[in-house]
Structure 1
Amino acid sequence: MLEEKDDNLQDAEGNLEEQSSTANETEETQSEVENDVTAEAESDVETTETEAVTEETETVEETVAETSAAVTETDVEDAEQTLEEHQEAVNEVHENVAEDAEDESANERHEIPVLDYHSMTKEALVDELEKLVKNEKVQAIKEHVDGIKSEFNQKFNEVLEQRKEEFLAEGGNIIDFHFSLPIKGRFNVAYNEYRSKRNEYYKNLEKDLHANLEKRLALIEELKGLLNVEENINNTYKHFKQIQEQWRNAGSIPKTQYNNVWRTYHHHVERFYDFLHLNRDLRDLDFKRNYEEKLKIVARAEELAKEENIIHAFRELQNLHRLWKEDIGPVAKELREEVWNKFSTATKVIHDRRQEYFKNIDKIYEQNLVVKEEIIAKIQEISAGNYKVHNQWQNKIKEIEKLREAFFNAGKVPLKVNEETWAKFKQSVREFNANKNAFYKSLKKEQQENLAKKLALIELAESLKDSDDWAETTPKMKKVQADWKKIGHVPKKISDKVWKQFKNACNHYFDRLHAQKNAASAEENAALEKKEAFLSEMEAFELSGDTKQDIETIKKKIADWKSIGRVPYNKKNIDNKFNKVIDGLFKKLNIDKQESELIKYSNRLENLDERKINSERIFIRRKIDDITAEIRQLENNLQFFSNSSSNSPMLKKVHQDIEKHKRALDTWKAKLDQLRAL
């Protein structure tokens, strides 16, 4: 673009040289120029450099002035309101452009995504901070670092407060309290590195900004001096273009000076173009190029107005305004209003979409606030509960942890209530922790008492574990085990240790008892060999097909098995193998189910000791009571069918259920009779 412009300017300069070939024409031109410069200088006496009005503001004022006489008062108000809205949008963009003026990388900025720091763990936050400080430019990560710092401090302070409350609840003195985490050290190192880099950056930046300001002010003075030089107009124009190029490359300046310096420069650029009014070819060519470039900017702004990512669109719009102000000069006066209105309209569309975006963000934050308030209410409800046992508290602790996680994952809330919401959340969790600590403080005393009881049982078990008086010691050891089960919890840090001591003492005794029994009975070993051979024979046994004869044969086999006698204690599993073989044979027989059950049940009873027989008796009686109650309920239900036909499906179903339960009841009663016979 610039190369094309230079080529055209050279052609124009050549034409100017032809036009000024005669001395008379040159003298007339210089005389008129001097008169214009004098008039311009006199008109500028009343205004300072920094009070120069921007191109956009002039356009707004001219538009209002031209239309005020032709429209009604209402139309004027509407027009003024529209212009004010457009100007408000433009001003916001200009403010952002001025703020970015100090950032040397503003035109090279790349997007650094802002993550949902609120839902990240402390470790993840520090990892992200370290990555940003190491890989990104320090001037581009302020928003990210501030967000990470805020969320990390909130999460760390919550843990700190909880640990402090636990410390005080256990009787500690606040003066002695000290708490830290390794992750906090990592955070401090990364954040201090960020601060050091940031301070160094801004120290160097301030020096560069003031140096660039001096350069730009010197260029303005040089530009002003062009109006007073006595040289060929073509050379003056070349000098002007050189000043423009140096201005573009002069670098950033302090944002407090940005707008005034630019307006002053822009004012003198326009004065120079007015100075060139006799050299219309040069001026019009430049105006044309500027107009074309501004139309390109307008077209790009209109494209941005349709872009889905409004944040990205707004940032690129800032660059377009910077190009409009910094790189492109004025256009012909009759086109200024038209091209500026197009750009202003596109700017307002993007501005309005951005405002709507943040309005919707506020709605999302409001929804997040509702969710967080509901979570806080649930925590408060749990905190108000009266829990008496350890398991209840453990369940509630898990619930609170899930609610805390849900709170952190719920997202941001409106800034105006952020601190208040966070304080309510911390207070609700603090109340729960205080109640929990009070419970476990009282529980600690009880656990110490339980520990004393269990240590006494361990001492007793260890005193009995090497006894050879099996008849007297075995009941005592069983009582020790029963008493152990009745004692509640002991402190968790010692629970496993005392349990291992107790278990080792008991196992030592009963292993000796079983070893003695196994070694003492030669008959049991002989019986084992017989049963192993008998089992092999039964696994190969085949039924004859005569049900009655097969039943008698199976009964005889069972009787033969029982007659062999007991086997060593650690080999009793062989009886279970035999029972499985018998069960398989009964399944192949076509006999009454109850009869089959009783035969198999009788076989199993031989392997039960006294304790298991008592347990079996209790179990069967409970089953008989349950089935009897079920039969009684079904018989009562028959009253509801007093008017029903005997062919009713539902009535038949009830009778069938009653019969099924009666058959089951008979089976269980028969089993109970067999137990009694034992």
Structure 2
Amino acid sequence: MMDLHEAPLLEKSAQAEENITTENVSLPETAKENKLVENKLSREEIVARVKELVDQPVESVKDEIDSLKQNYYKLRKNEVEEARRKFEEETGDTSGFTPEPDECEETLKGLLNVFKEKKAKLLEQQEKVKEENLLRKKSILEEIKKITEDSDNINKHYNDFQQLQQAFKEITDVPASAVNELWKNYQLYVEHFYDLLKINKELRDYDFKKNLDLKLTICESAEALAKNDDVVAAFKSLQTLHDEWRAIGPVAKELREDLWNRFKAASTVINKAHQQHFEILKADEQKNEAAKIAICEEIEAIDMTALKSFSAWDEKTKDIIALQERWKGIGFASRKVNNALFERFRKTCDEFFKQKAEYFKRVKDEMSLNLEKKKALCEKAEALKDSTDWKNTTDQMIAIQKEWKTIGPVAKKYSDAVWTRFIAACDYFFEQKNKQTASVRQVEQENLLLKKAVIEKLNALDEAMAPSEAVALVKTLMAEWNQIGHVPFKEKDKIYKSYQAALDKHFKRLNMNETKNRLNSFTSAVQQMASSDQAQNKLYRERERLMRSYEHVKAELQTYENNMGFLNISSKSGGGMLKEMERKMQKLKDEMQLIAQKIELIDENL
């Protein structure tokens, strides 16, 4: 029989048990570390299996579904890595690699979302049941309390008391926040009941002994768990032992505190080991989180707009791959951020490779367009390379070469070939031109010597020769002059002036029509140009020269006319200067008229 004075000690024991229990439930929630055997199913078979499981009870399949999910993404990762390896073997580079879309993943995500909703509903239902259980247990405690308060009829209530105990134990799940308070009150009322219960000593001692044996067994189990290296498993088992301890009735008063202290000591060892384990795990997770955030930020900081070449993209790709390898070597972050970090990392990497693929495609498209443009220029150069219209073709070739320089690069495998083709056509033309030009220059030098010889003959003409004979010789020399071809361009005007000066001297002396003879001489020259190669080009060039001469003479005449206003014609010297200027002005007018006639003559032959 337990006396009422024992109640304070029992309260102390219950309070101590409450403390250790409160310590247990305040620890961080343990991570599920189920060591599941690797599933050998394919991704399609995994999806099919998940589809079968989602309709089954959540509690019975949740571990298998988690395992299947992990195996699915492990398989997917391995497939992508294998595809990347093959791509690299085939191309020698992974820069353009893009994984094939995963058609099964959306189906899997849909199934997992369905299961997630079922799981949430189950938890909601369980919480509702726990609240209902809490109300039932509180109601039972009130009944037990009433029994303990009826001390006069305590023996009569023994059977009722046992039934209430059984009913209390059969109700299991309640909200975690209420567990300690429930068991504290239960133990208090039970101990109070036994203290008040006036039953025979043998029955009480029998219950105490039975409870002692059970609690000693629990103590031994707890002490064995304290030596277990698997602190997570030990902690889980300890919770079960505490549940069993609570369900066992009291022991003899003199043994209660020592027995409880023994169990409490073993529990404390396990709890501390468990706490240390998760503190270390948390520190590692925080370190891993910081390392993963740093990698994400490093990739996000890449200015992809500054990557303007294949080599720049390739160098940055090496950095990304190195960061991916570093990521693989980092352990898990905390569960609440680990998935989000991985999604951030994957999204950032995907965006980089997407931008790279777009850049490569854009540049390759530009190179293809550049290749077509350069091929077109090759065709133009090849069409012109055999032309003998040296002036126009040279201008066209130079224009083509300038246009070539404005076109961007082409792919390496075409670059040398298209350049060789283009430069071959250009070189061929200019080599032919140089050969022709060298030949023409030699002929022009010979013509220059011949024309100088004609001028020397004109200058050496004997003034004592009979006029008729002299006129005939001058005309012969003029015909000889007209038969001689072109001279070097830079010598043309100089030699022509010397020739005209020699002719003018004889025209004046022999009373020959200077203008008519000069025009006749030019007519022969025009006819010679009109019948030569590149006639149009030569005539146009001569016309341009005459137009320049016309403008030059016109400007000189304008100068004389302007200077006329400054002369003092009243003086003797002024009158002489006026006559000289009028003579020069008339000569310039005659020269302009002759040039105009020459231009008309060229126009008739164009």
TM-score by length of 1: 0.41
Q: Which protein is bigger by CA-based radius of gyration?
A: 2
| Structure having greater relative contact order (Cα 8 Å, sep ≥ 6) | 1
TM-score by length of 2: 0.45
